[in-house]
Amino acid sequence: MNYLYTAYAAVWIIHIIYLSSLARRYGRLRDEIKSLGKK
């Protein structure tokens, strides 16, 4: 039974890690666009 919960948790952890890395990249991109707009 423990394996079941571990597996389900692992799936979501992988997806959340990937999504948060996307969000981070998006934020960095937005900063760069802002700094480009200022020039």
Partner 1 sequence: MKRLFPLFAILTAALLSFALYESLIVAPVDQLQGNVYRILYYHASSAWTAFILFGINFVASVVYLVRRNEKADVLAFVTAEVGVVFCTVVLVTGPLWARPVWGIWWTWDWRLTSTFVLWLIYVSYLLLRRFSSSGQTPVLAAALAVFGALDIPLVYFSIWFFRTQHPQPVIGDGGYMDPGMLHVLLLNWLAFSCLAFMVCWSRYNLEVLKRELEEAQALESLLETGGAR
Binding residue count for partner 1, defined by CB under 8 A: 20
Q: Does 38 bind partner 1 (CB under 8 A)?
A: no
> Shortest gap between Cβ of 3 and partner 1 (angstroms)?
5
Q: What residues from 6 to 35 belong to the interface with partner 1 (CB under 8 A)?
A: 6-8, 10-11, 14-15, 18-19, 22, 25-26, 29, 32-33
Tokens at 27, concatenated: 């934020």
- C-alpha distances out from residue 2 to 5, 9, 13, Å: 5, 11, 16
Q: What angle do CA 18, 14, 21 make, to 5 degrees?
A: 20
Question: Using the rule CB under 8 A, is 36 a contact of partner 1?
Answer: yes
